[in-house]
Amino acid sequence: MADENYAVGTAKNYKAGEYKVHKFGGTCLATPESISAVSDIVKEQTKAGDVVVVSANGNVTNWLLALIEGGIPNGQILLDYFLDLQQGIGFDKSILERIEQDVKAIERLIDTNRYSQSEVLAHGETWSSLILSDVLNNKGKKAQAIDSCRCLKLNTETYQYPFDQHFADDALSNLYSTETDSVFIVTGFVALDSRLQKTTLGRNGSDFSATALGYLINSPSITIWTDVNGIYTADPKIIREPLLVENLTLCEAQALSELGANVLHEKTVLPLLLYKGSVNIKSFEQPDAAGTVVSQDTTPTNRVKTITFKPKLHKVCIHSIDELQARRIQKKLAEKSIASYVNGYDITQHKLTFYIEKSDVFAVTSTIKALQHYPSVLLSNMTLISLVGQNIRQDKRIIERFIRRLSTFDTQEIHYPNNSHSLSVVIDDEHAEALLRDLHTSFFYQEPTVPIVVLGYGNIGKKFVELIETGAERLGQSLNRSIQILAVANSKRYTFDPDGIELSELEQLLPKGEDNSNDQIFSWLEQYAGRELIIVDATASKSISERYRGFAENKWHIISANKIAASDKHYAREVETVLKTNRRIWKKNTTAGAGLPIQAAIKNLHESGDRIEEVSGIFSGSLSWLFSEFDGEKPFTELLKVAQDNAFTEPDPREDLSGNDVIRKIRILAQQLGFEDAPEDFEPAISEELLDGELDEFWQKESAINDYYQKLLEKAKASGGLLRYIATLSPEKLSLKLELIEQSHPFASLNPCDNVFQVISAWYKDNPLIIQGPGAGREVTAGGVLNDLCDLLRGH
């Protein structure tokens, strides 16, 4: 039977509607510094008669529970903790003595197994209220510790129903008539049951106490103080920069609570359904910040306000039951304050399924078995992610975007809760955070890009990243997408960030990144297998090109400046076939012509019905520059080194002089033209013997190289001609030769570094189509890669 102090008081009038309610959680009261901050807030923002509801300090409730369950041998951890608090904040030693007495009494009760768990756990809030009231009194703010059992009594055996208003009115009238100049520091989490026995209110019970008291005294406002400044668009522990939600409607708050939101528990919202005042959620560390206001406003906003995240859930299934039995199970779980999510009864298969937290698995299975049913746990480690916003289910655009974003992830099931204010999805824990980031970017910024991985951070890769960094805002507006790079790698290191790498910090991040000396990035990327991803290959690496089929099988898009894979017609066909099956795209416009639209022009002519008969030109921007600049005044190798330093040539300039680089471009264009089976006649731009050996040996042959080209130059001058390295593609032959041409030739007057493509077709026979422009250099190639990326994203 309850203590006589809990008896119903004599009814007297008190000023209902005048006193404010403040609630402080355990984190707010965990340390001397935080208690001091809380006491300053109470001192400044309350008046006599206001109610301050407190949770137990820090981890005290968990320690008390561990003491009951045998997780800790005794209460010494509690005594040490409160001793540290007392030394830090200086509350009266008599309180510390009382805590020591209480802990010893609890230990004795547990030893004799003569205890009520509620009675033991309630001590945490009692100690907390005594400490805060003493600290306040020491600061000149009169405060009185009050046991909430004096005014909170449940109407029934469970707390799914309102508190007893008459009991509260009588008790509060008595309280306010005897204590007229104090702030009331009330214990949260604790109340009387319908039989006047002390009971606890379960998880988030202190918040429930606060909103219940706010309703019972018709408070003009309830402020819930936490360690975060209100409700955010997503969990700040996962999302780097979530936005503060300034206002929530009551419908949105209720939807949030039903989805297991930590800040607004379902019990907490129950009293608010009839409450007429305002509810503010604020940070005790930033008391002047606005926080989040929960209002009675029901005006539809038709936008997503926040995204909830409930991980580590287990799916429970009960077979062979009818709908009435299913409802009975759900009611029993609710009575035991066990939260269940994504409840669904399949009338055709006679089965009930729902998700619960891991800590509830034993209680749930035991409860269901007691009802003569046999549950099974089908899935574990699943996450429930939900969009919340007033009437969002009535907005077709929100639903379409939600479904579109989910299509890139392997989700378990989509769920439509029993209200029009939320949309939910279940996904495995491993991929849940990535989906949350994707949805958050989509609904609160721009629709997110497909994650981008940049392989190669040399001349082209570095410039590509720079173009994205400097043009981020313009690109975002143009594409209506954010551009985020997931990972960047060079041959030694790789760095990554699931939220997108901060590109301005990449120069510092990459040298400190993960080891990539053996291509370890590809093992790390396997977690994205089956998920949409864009691989940007800015290397000249054969080993990476050999991975293209694997990229395609993993359902990744490819954008390549690397020509090796694209120039191998059999391998390229294999990759294209797999990509087509997986509905993925390979963009390779920079593999021939750098930033020039030759491949696009060929495609457009084909699609419009034209027949291309021949394509010829100068396909090497590096050799275009070299032979334009080479006039005999400087040795050829000196110009070659300048070209190499400016990234006009491949890292090994022999790739250019041998013709290999151009040959790849010829083969790439030949595939697109349908000429790939034509005979090949390719000659290098230098004699074979000068190309033999290693790169160091090549540079040791400078004198011979210079003599070779000097003789060619003198021959050209003698005939009044020019040296040009010309490629020609036709159904009859694919050729490449260093030719001597006349000054009047269409390929004679080029700007240094220019590529030129001459297209002869049925429509352009007498007046060939000419495409001319820069064909080498990091800027034009990187720009071409960026154009490919934009085209891919626009067409996606």
Question: Is the per-residue pLDDT at 159 higher than 70?
Answer: no
pLDDT of residue 5: 32
Tell me, yes or no, whether 685 lies in a domain: yes
Query: 180 and 34 in one domain?
Result: yes
pLDDT value at residue 775? 66
Residue-wise pLDDT for 439-482, tens only, equals 998 888 766 678 899 999 988 899 999 998 888 778 877 887 77
Same domain, 723 and 640: yes
- Which among 79-88, 243-252, 599-608 has the top mean pLDDT? 79-88
Q: Is the dihedral of CA 139, 143, 144, 145 positive or negative?
A: negative
Q: Which residues contact 139 (CB under 8 A, 6 or more apart)?
A: 39, 40, 43
Residue 39 domain-assigned? Answer: yes
Please state the rounded mean pLDDT for residues 712-737: 91
Q: Where is the domain boundary, 227, 244, 273? A: 227
HEC string of 419-455 equals CCCEEEEEEEHHHHHHHHHHHHHHHHCCEECCCEEEE
Say what the pLDDT of residue 8 is.
31
CA–CA dist 645, 490 (Å, integer)? 19
Give the whole-angstrom CA distance, residue 78 versus residue 88.
15
CATH number for 667: 3.30.360.10
The verdict on 343 and 464 lying in the same domain is no
Out of 110-124, 171-185, 513-527, 584-598, give the one with best mean pLDDT: 513-527
**Shared domain check, 705 and 583:** no
In a domain, 633, yes or no: yes
Contacts of 632 by beta carbon, 8 Å cutoff, 6+ apart:
710, 713, 714, 717
Please answer whether residues 423 and 399 qualify as being in contact, where contact means their C-beta atoms are separated by less than 8 angstroms.
yes
Tell me, yes or no, whether 617 and 755 share the same domain.
yes
Q: What is the pLDDT of residues 164-178, one digit of tens each?
A: 888 988 888 888 887
Judge whether 539 lies within some domain.
yes
* In-domain check, residue 695: yes
Do 693 and 549 sit in the same domain of this protein?
no
Residue numbers of the domain that contains 453: 448-592+785-795
Q: Say yes or no to pLDDT of 425 above 90.
A: yes
Return the higher-pLDDT residue of 363 and 267: 363
In contact, 105 and 111? CB cutoff 8 Å: no
Please answer whether residues 131 and 87 qualify as being in contact, where contact means their C-beta atoms are separated by less than 8 angstroms. no
What CATH number should be reported for the domain holding residue 579?
3.40.50.720
Provide the 3-class DSSP secondary structure of residue 616.
Answer: strand
659, 662, 668, 670: CA torsion to nearest 10: -80
How many residues are there in the chain? 796
Q: What is the pLDDT of residue 625?
A: 85
Secondary structure in 3-state letters for 42-56:
HHHHCCCCCEEEECC
Question: What pLDDT score was predicted for residue 95?
Answer: 96
Residue 166 lies in a domain: yes
Q: What is the DSSP letter of 659?
A: S
Tell me if 287 sits within 8 A of 379, measured CB to CB: no
User: Can you tell me the mean pLDDT for 692-713?
Assistant: 90
Tokens of 179: 């204590």
In contact, 29 and 187? CB cutoff 8 Å: no
Domain identity same for 789 and 764:
no
What pLDDT sits at residue 262?
73
pLDDT of 7 above 70: no
User: What does the pLDDT look like over 344-364, one tens digit per residue?
Assistant: 999 999 999 999 998 899 999
Range 117-138 average pLDDT: 94
Statement to judge: residues 620 and 769 lie in one domain: yes
Q: How many domains does the chain have?
A: 4
Residue 54 CA to residue 145 CA, distance in Å, equals 10
Q: How far apart are CA 404 and CA 127, in angstroms?
A: 52
The CATH number that applies at residue 213 is: 3.40.1160.10
Higher pLDDT, 482 or 298: 482
| Residues 483 and 519 both lie in one domain | yes
Residues 10 and 150 in one domain: yes
CATH code where residue 317 lies: 3.30.2130.10
Q: What is the mean pLDDT of residues 257-280?
A: 80
pLDDT higher than 80, residue 400:
yes
Cβ 337 vs Cβ 202: under 8 Å? yes
Residue 160 has a pLDDT of: 52
Which residue has better confidence, 385 or 264?
385
Residue 97 lies in a domain: no
Same domain, yes or no, for 581 and 618? no
Long-range CB pairs of 461-467 (<8 Å, 24+ gap) are 461/488, 461/490, 461/536, 461/538, 461/539, 461/782, 462/778, 463/778, 463/779, 463/781, 463/782, 464/536, 464/538, 464/782, 464/785, 464/786, 465/503, 465/506, 466/782, 467/782, 467/783, 467/786
pLDDT score, position 365 = 93
- The answer to whether residue 513 sits within a structural domain is yes
Task: Clarify whether residues 608 and 496 are in a common domain.
Answer: no
With a cut of 70, say whether residue 493 has pLDDT above it. yes
Which pLDDT value is given to residue 530? 85
The mean-pLDDT minimum among 36-45, 148-157, 415-424, 494-503 falls in 148-157
pLDDT at 1: 29
**Residue 324: per-residue pLDDT:** 94
Q: Is the dihedral of CA 686, 691, 696, 701 positive or negative?
A: negative
Choice between 16 and 118, residue whose per-residue pLDDT is larger: 118
**Token pair in block for residue 549:** 């089929």
pLDDT at residue 419 greater than cutoff 70: yes
Supply the DSSP string of 189-243, one letter for each residue.
SEEE-TTS-EEE--TTHHHHHHHHHHHHTT-SEEEEEESSSS-BSS-TTTSSSPP
Strand order in the sheet with 514-515: 514-515, 493-496, 485-489, 452-455, 534-537, 557-560, 586-587
Query: What pLDDT is recorded for position 14?
Result: 61
Last residue of a domain, one of 170, 199, 227: 227
> How far apart, in whole angstroms, are the C-alpha atoms of residue 442 and residue 378?
31
Contact present, 487 and 523 (Cβ < 8 Å) = no
The pLDDT of residue 300 is 65
Q: Which of 191, 208, 227 is the last residue of a domain?
A: 227
